[in-house]
C-alpha cells in the first residue's frame, strides 16, 4: 500500500484526489496547505481518514511523514523547489502539476535530482487520459485517417458557468514572478495552454522544427493568442505532406459555458491524408452541447461518410482518475510515466518558444 501525501489543497485538489480514493494500492496519509483549515475541509468533503496528518509547511510534512508518493499542487514558481526537496528525501514517486518548471534550467535540476536519488518524476497530464481523446489517439495510431498533416486546437474560455473560484485563489496567476512565462506573465500560454501544447505534440508524435506565435493582452491576460508550429521532416518516416499545427486561445467575456469545472472548453481538428477528425469538448464535456449531434465527442469524415463516436464517460474527471491510476502503476514499476521529466521539458521548451515568438514577433527554432 503506497502512502500518499498531497501538497496544496486548492480548487484542483478536488480532481487530483479522486484517483486515490478507494484505490487498493494507495492511501492518502497526509495533506499540506498554507491554510490548515482548508486541508481539514478537504478531509471532510472527501470523507478521508480522520487521522490524516495536516501541515502548513510542506518541508515539515516531507521530513516527518514516511510517504511513497507526493502530489505537488502548488503555484508554478514552487514546482522545482518542492520537487528538489522531495527527491532528496528519496520519495519514490513525485507527481508535479503543469507547467513543469519556470524555465529549462529548473527542469534540468528536477530531472537530475530525481535521477540521483532514485525518484520517479512525472508531470501530471489529465487530458491524454480523457476516454474520448484516448480513443482518438488509438484511431490515429491505427492509421484510420491516414498520415497526419495538420492539427488545430481551439481553447474557448468563457466568463461564467463553472466553478466559483475566489479571486484571491487566482491572485498568484497575475504575478509574473509566480505564474512564469513572459516578463509580464503568461497565465494563458504558460498555464491553461500547457494542455494544448502537450496534446499537439503528442498527437503528431514528431519533433518540432519552429514556432511562431502572436498574443494580445486583455485585462492582464495574454489572450487572445495564436500559436503555429511546423514539425521536422522525419527521414525515417516519410509524410505525404509537411506537418503543421495551430493553437488558438479565445476569450469569450460574455459567454456562459455550463460546466462542473472551469467555464472553458476545447475543440480539436485533425486532418489526415484520407480523413478528417474532430474531437469535441474537454473541460466541459457532458453539458448540453455534448447532447447535440453536431458535437458528438468524436466525428470523423472519411470515404464520403460521417462517423460519430459517443460511448464514453462524459465527465472531465475521468481523465484525472485515469492519470492518477496510471501514475500508481508507474510507481509499482508496471508502466512508464505518460509525461516523464525529459518529455515535459520538451513541452516546456515548446511553450517558452511560443512565448518568445509572441514577444519578438519572430519565428523561434526549437534547436536554437
* pLDDT tens sequence across 76-134: 999 999 999 999 999 999 999 999 999 999 999 999 999 999 999 999 999 999 999 99
Q: What percent of the chain has pLDDT over 70?
A: 99
* pLDDT tens sequence across 34-62: 999 999 999 999 999 989 999 999 999 99
**Segment among 19-23, 148-152, 167-171, 178-182 with least mean pLDDT:** 167-171
Give the C-alpha separation, 245 to 153, whole Å: 8
At residue 118, the pLDDT reads 97
Radius of gyration from C-alpha coordinates of the chain: 20
Cell of 188: 494563458
Q: Is residue 366 part of a domain?
A: no
Same domain, 24 and 165: no
Same domain, 115 and 165: no
Q: Is 264 exposed, middle or buried (0-12, 13-18, 19+ CB in 10 A)?
A: buried
Give the C-alpha separation, 115 to 103, whole Å: 19
Long-range contacts (CB closer than 8 Å, 24 or more residues apart) made by 34-42: 38/9, 38/10, 39/9, 41/9, 42/9, 42/13, 42/14, 42/17
Q: Is residue 279 part of a domain?
A: yes
Cβ–Cβ under 8 Å, residues 70 and 5: yes
**CA neighbor of 274 nearest in space, from 162, 161, 145, 170:** 145
Number of domain units in the chain: 2
Q: What percent of the chain has pLDDT over 90?
A: 92
* Residues 20-31 as b or e (16 or more Cβ within 10 Å = b): beebeebbbbbb
Same domain, 62 and 149: no
Helix (H) / strand (E) containing 156: strand 148-160
Same domain, 103 and 139: no
* Residue 289 pLDDT grade (very low, low, confident, very high; cuts 50, 70, 90): very high
Same domain, 92 and 132: no
Q: Is residue 364 part of a domain?
A: no
Q: Is residue 362 part of a domain?
A: no
What's the chain's average pLDDT? Answer: 96
Same domain, 150 and 261: yes
**Does position 290 have pLDDT exceeding 80, yes or no?**
yes
Note down the domain range covering 281. Answer: 128-312+351-357
Same domain, 219 and 115: no
How many Cβ atoms sit within 10 Å of the Cβ of residue 49? 10
Same domain, 246 and 160: yes
Strand partners, 156: 250, 265
**Does position 32 have pLDDT exceeding 90, yes or no?**
yes
* Residue 165 pLDDT grade (very low, low, confident, very high; cuts 50, 70, 90): confident
Same domain, 164 and 304: yes
Q: Is residue 346 part of a domain?
A: no
Q: Is residue 45 part of a domain?
A: yes
Vertex 169, ends 216 and 250: CA angle to 5°?
25
Residue 328 C-alpha from the chain's centroid: 18
Cell of 95: 507527481
Domain with residue 299: its CATH number is 3.30.360.10
* pLDDT tens sequence across 333-342: 999 999 999 9
At residue 174, the pLDDT reads 87
- The backbone torsions φ and ψ at residue 239, rounded to the nearest 5 degrees and listed phi first, read -105, 145
Same domain, 173 and 100: no
DSSP per-residue letters across 71-86: EE---GGGHHHHHHHH
**Does position 317 have pLDDT exceeding 80, yes or no?**
yes
Q: Is residue 344 part of a domain?
A: no
* pLDDT tens sequence across 214-252: 999 998 899 999 999 999 987 666 667 889 999 999 999
Same domain, 117 and 135: no
Q: Is residue 363 part of a domain?
A: no
At residue 235, the pLDDT reads 67
**CA neighbor of 202 nearest in space, from 287, 141, 262, 154:** 141
- The backbone torsions φ and ψ at residue 103, rounded to the nearest 5 degrees and listed phi first, read -155, 175
Same domain, 234 and 277: yes
Give the C-alpha separation, 195 to 317, whole Å: 15
Cβ–Cβ under 8 Å, residues 274 and 146: yes
**CA neighbor of 54 nearest in space, from 45, 41, 71, 69:** 41
At residue 220, the pLDDT reads 87
DSSP per-residue letters across 277-296: EEEE-STTTTSHHHHSSTT-
Amino acid at each position: 500500500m503506497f502512502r500518499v501525501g498531497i501538497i496544496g489543497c486548492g480548487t484542483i485538489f478536488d480532481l487530483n484526489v479522486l484517483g486515490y480514493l478507494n484505490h487498493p494500492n494507495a492511501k492518502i496519509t497526509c495533506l499540506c496547505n498554507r491554510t490548515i483549515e482548508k486541508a481539514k475541509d478537504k478531509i471532510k468533503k472527501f470523507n478521508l481518514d480522520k487521522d490524516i496528518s495536516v501541515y502548513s509547511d510542506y518541508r515539515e510534512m516531507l521530513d516527518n511523514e514516511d510517504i511513497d508518493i507526493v502530489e505537488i499542487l502548488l503555484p508554478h514558481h514552487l514546482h522545482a523547489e518542492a520537487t528538489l526537496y522531495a527527491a532528496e528525501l528519496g520519495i519514490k514517486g513525485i507527481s508535479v502539476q503543469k507547467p513543469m518548471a519556470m524555465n529549462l534550467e529548473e527542469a534540468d535540476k528536477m530531472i537530475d535530482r530525481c535521477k540521483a536519488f532514485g525518484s520517479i518524476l512525472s508531470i501530471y497530464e489529465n487530458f491524454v487520459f480523457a476516454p474520448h481523446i484516448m480513443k482518438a489517439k488509438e484511431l490515429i495510431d491505427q492509421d484510420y485517417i491516414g498520415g497526419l498533416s495538420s492539427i488545430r486546437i481551439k481553447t474557448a474560455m468563457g466568463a461564467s458557468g463553472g466553478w466559483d473560484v475566489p479571486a484571491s485563489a487566482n491572485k498568484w496567476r497575475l504575478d509574473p514572478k509566480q505564474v512564469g512565462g513572459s516578463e509580464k506573465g503568461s497565465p494563458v500560454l504558460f498555464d491553461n495552454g500547457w494542455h494544448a501544447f502537450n496534446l499537439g505534440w503528442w498527437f503528431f508524435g514528431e519533433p518540432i522544427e519552429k514556432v511562431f506565435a502572436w498574443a494580445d493582452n486583455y485585462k492582464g491576460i495574454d489572450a487572445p493568442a495564436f500559436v503555429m508550429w511546423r514539425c521536422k521532416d522525419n527521414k525515417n518516416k516519410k509524410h505525404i505532406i509537411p506537418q503543421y499545427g495551430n493553437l488558438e486561445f479565445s476569450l469569450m467575456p460574455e459567454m456562459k459555458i455550463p460546466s462542473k469545472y472551469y467555464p472553458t472548453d476545447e475543440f480539436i481538428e485533425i486532418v489526415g491524408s484520407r480523413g478528417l477528425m474532430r474531437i469535441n469538448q474537454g473541460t466541459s464535456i457532458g453539458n448540453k452541447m455534448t447532447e447535440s449531434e453536431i458535437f458528438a465527442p468524436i466525428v470523423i469524415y472519411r470515404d464520403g461518410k460521417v462517423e460519430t463516436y459517443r460511448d464514453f464517460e462524459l465527465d472531465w474527471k475521468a481523465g484525472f482518475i485515469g492519470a492518477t491510476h496510471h501514475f500508481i502503476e508507474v510507481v509499482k514499476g508496471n508502466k512508464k510515466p505518460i509525461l516523464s521529466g525529459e518529455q515535459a521539458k520538451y513541452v516546456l521548451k515548446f511553450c517558452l518558444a511560443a512565448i518568445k515568438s509572441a514577444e519578438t514577433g519572430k519565428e523561434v527554432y526549437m534547436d536554437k
